[in-house]
Amino acid sequence: MKTGGGGGMVEKAKGGGGYHFPEWAYKPESSPGSRQIQLWHFILELLQNEDFRHVIAWQQGEYGEFVIKDPDEVARLWGRRKCKPQMNYDKLSRALRYYYNKRILHKTKGKRFTYKFNFNKLVMPNYPFINIRPKGAVPQSAPPVPTASSHFSFSSLDSPNDDARGRFSGGSTAQSSRESLNEVGERKPNPPDPDDISTDWRRGIDLMSSRNAVGSGIHGLQKHKSEIMLPVFSMPGMFPDPHSPFSVSPLAGRGGMLNVPISPALSLTPSIFSYSPSPGLSPAFQSGSCFNFNPEEMKHYLQSQACSVFNYHLSPRTIPRGPGFMFPLPQRHFHLEEPQSYPIKLQPPPMGRKNREHSQSSEENNPVPQLAPLIPPLKVEPVSDDEPLSDEEFGSSGLSSDEEPEMSVKKEDPEKEGHMFVKPAAPPRSPFLHGSPRVGYSGAEQPLEVTEKAARDLSTEVFTVEKKEDSLPPKLRLKRLWNEDRQYEAMEECRKVSCIISAIRTPVLSTESQALAAAADS
């Protein structure tokens, strides 16, 4: 059997050193509004390409950390891509520094030209059970992953004011929670770092929730075509490589559509995924300070969460959230490894698209993997063949083939790669409505109402805070908003934590939690 149901998506190291890597990270349009290639994406591109390992490469040992070995070259490449010949490392690095606040990147202090993607924390917390060897043959495309044994010893996680405190104040009162929140709020917009896990994590979850909704057949409300079409993003260099960590995401999007045998107890039930458990939960679990869950269950749970990670389209600040929000995600996948479990159907390549047919530059004639035969017959929602997808093309096309030796045949524009278009099948029904909130947990007995209430109070409280408009200078206000955003996150996390906990403990409570959460949301 393949890597096996639930574990399938989690461990694929066997494939040949292939590690998981958030596929969402490659989504060019991860940032709504910006049709242009983004630097972090570009970096990832280079990172993923073996041909550039001498220019930029993952740093062994630290997941998500990479070193720019040749700053000038990277800058040059970036400049080329953006048609900014004057680009240099100084400027590029400035752009990178802007990512700090967005929490896309961190600077690895002390190490020259070394940065670290933030999602390491995003992913790892969800794969504590991955059985992999970081020192194994880690392909350029795969960021080093800490061993399971390294056990969450995130340099940045356990340092400064930890999340666990402010976000996961177990039985804290609204008061204490608020203090924490305030503290967060007072913080400078560029926090030391230790809070991304939760927030990003949660965002991922939220996103997934949204997707669930979309996948639940609600997509009818959308007018955007992209939510129906799932373009498979093919990376020429890696596509054919089944071992590539980028060909992951066997989940193929919607967690709700997964066939991954996730624990029946902690499956993609509405109780859990509709209201996304707090990301703080994961770290909390890890620290093993708050709860004593059955490792097995926990594993399943985390695996479930993993879905969100895979589906998480990095957009730290732009991913909308909210229970009712439908996220029209055009999703790009590389290769589906366990197609039989994907409720998606392949669709003939959208050659109709203008820039599709012009396979002009040799860059991407990459043979698109035959997904079709792999995809099992599934119920497919008739879709209007609108624009398959909004794929941008760069005016830089004029550059045609680069003088770059590496670039010549290789690709520099993954975005232009052949796309596979698949459309998700509409799930039988809305998991929200029919999913059973039942969970396998009934072991715990302590009532969680307290936490729940606290969370709720907190919720309203924060909401109130959010409501009031302050007349600050644009700039300050932005920062303020940023902080508030974080406050909101913290608050919501709190609430969700209680929800998830309740859900885990008792089905009934779970339902109530949902109601509460729903109320709070609305």
Please report, as ranges, the residues that interact with DNA according to CB under 7 A.
Answer: 31, 33-34, 36, 38-40, 71, 78-79, 82, 84, 86-87, 90-95, 97-100, 102, 107, 109, 111-114, 190, 317-318, 475, 478
Q: How far is the CB of 66 from DNA (least distance, A)?
A: 12
Residue 398, amino acid = G
- In whole angstroms, the minimum distance from the beta carbon of 281 to DNA comes to 27
* Token duo for residue 46: 């280079």
Q: Are 493 and 181 in contact (CB under 8 A)?
A: no
Q: What does each C-alpha distance from 135 to 61, 146, 147, 153 come to in angstroms?
A: 8, 9, 9, 17
In whole angstroms, what is the distance from residue 31 CA to residue 313 CA?
A: 9
Q: In this complex, which beta carbon is closest to DNA, that of residue 55 or of residue 500?
A: 55
| 312 to 381, 382, 416, 440: CA distances (angstroms) | 24, 26, 22, 26
Nearest to DNA of 113, 129 (CB atom): 113
Nearest distance from residue 99's CB to DNA, in Å? 7
**CB 68, min distance to DNA, A:** 8
Burial (0-12, 13-18, 19+ Cβ within 10 Å), 91: middle
Please report, to the nearest 10 degrees, the dihedral formed by the alpha carbons of residues 199, 127, 260, 254 taken in order. Answer: 30
- CB burial readout 55-70, b (16+ within 10 A) else e: bbbbbeebbbbbbbbb
Q: How far is the CB of 91 from DNA (least distance, A)?
A: 4
Q: Return the number of the residue (33 or 373) whose C-beta is nearest DNA.
A: 33
Give me the least distance between CB of 42 and DNA, in Å please: 8
Closer to DNA at the Cβ: 377 or 473? 473
For residue 21, give the nearest of 115, 99, 152, 138 by alpha carbon.
138
Give the nearer residue to DNA in terms of CB position, either 128 or 414: 414
Q: Three-state DSSP class for 385?
A: coil
* Minimal distance, residue 98 CB to DNA, in Å: 6
Which C-beta is closer to DNA: that of 109 or that of 377? Answer: 109
Least spacing, CB of residue 323 vs DNA, in Å: 21
**CB of residue 25 vs DNA: minimum separation in angstroms?**
13
Q: How far apart are CA 336 and CA 221, in angstroms?
A: 28
Looking at the Cβ atoms of 78 and 127, the one nearer to DNA is 78
Q: Which is nearer to DNA, 36 or 147 (CB)?
A: 36
DSSP assignments along 233-265, one per residue:
E--TTTTT-TT-GGG--TT-S-GGG------ST
| Helical packing angle, 39-48 and 89-102, nearest 10° | 110
Nearest residue (CB) to DNA, 83 versus 508: 83
